[in-house]
Amino acid sequence: MEVLSKEQSKKLRERQILERARAIYPEFPPGLITPSECPDFCIEGDSGSIGIEITSLFRLPMNTPAHHKQVVSLAEGKFYESAMAPPVFVNIGFLSDEQCERENQKGWRWLIDKNSGSKKDKLANSLTDFVRRHAAAERFGTFSDREMDGQLHADTLPTGFEVIHVSASQVRAPWQCGESANMSLDTSHLLVDLHGIITKKNEKLRNYRANAVGIPIWLLIYSGLSLCESVWVPPSIGVWRFPSDFDRVLLLSIERSRVFEIATFNPAEIQGTGTQI
């Protein structure tokens, strides 16, 4: 099984993001996706070509405790013990101990009961089992239903987890984990972050156009690979306008499985910079 370098893993992840956005946004043109650099991809179709630059916008997770990293590493190792295990991409968000105990006292008591095994092993085993079942059934997606009322079903998360994302992959990419964090509904943070990202990428647009001469260049911003990294996109995003020379700016909300078009205006139209609302 081929093991990808960090750069190859990044390119594969960007390709998956582009294909996901194109699948749910009908204005993406059909055509052959060709990897490149500066911009990241080109789509070559019968009606013409476009360049795509991809960048991320996500909530910074809290520092991941070492024991959670150990859980993920242990679970990944157990999953691939079988030679028949298919390569999958997995991203995990853990619940805080306080929230886990509050929501599911029975599950929490089982998790911390040392007589039935260590907490780390229980978390790892239940994570492995969850991923194994979903991979075998090719049931992929982002799962966030937790056992809070005793009602269990195939997608109910194991005790101790806030979110588990499982998707098919062509190669073995390292499983990832982040921490639970309350989502802020303060739209000013999103506005400032988007403005900073678009402005920074706009400064590089001259290089993109030099490498992809004569074709439109789109900027695709994605809001994280899972619920634990995604940002809340308010309805008011439809009236925000940002200074940009990109031909089109899009925001992929993975959590909502939706692509938002970001309104822009030519920075030369006004004095200085700043976001208009």
| Tokens representing residue 154 in the block | 């195939």
Phi and psi at 108, nearest 5°, equal -65, -40
Tell whether the model's pLDDT for residue 276 goes beyond 70. no
- Decide: helix, strand or coil at residue 208: helix
Q: What is the β-pairing status of strands 248-253 and 241-243?
A: unpaired
Average pLDDT over residues 231-244: 77
pLDDT tens for each residue of 152-200: 677 889 999 987 888 888 778 788 876 443 333 445 567 777 888 898 9
The closest of 229, 89, 257 to 167, measured between CA atoms, is 89
Instruction: Give the pLDDT of residue 183.
Output: 36
Per residue in 46-58, pLDDT (tens digit) is 888 999 999 988 6
**Which of 183, 167, 184 minimizes the C-alpha distance to 175?**
167
Per residue in 208-245, is it b (16+ CB within 10 Å) or e — as a string? bbeebeebebbbbbbbbbbbbbbbbbeeebeebebbbb
Both structure tokens of 121: 């092993």
What is the pTM assigned to this prediction? Answer: 0.55
CA angle 110, 78, 146 (to 5 degrees): 40
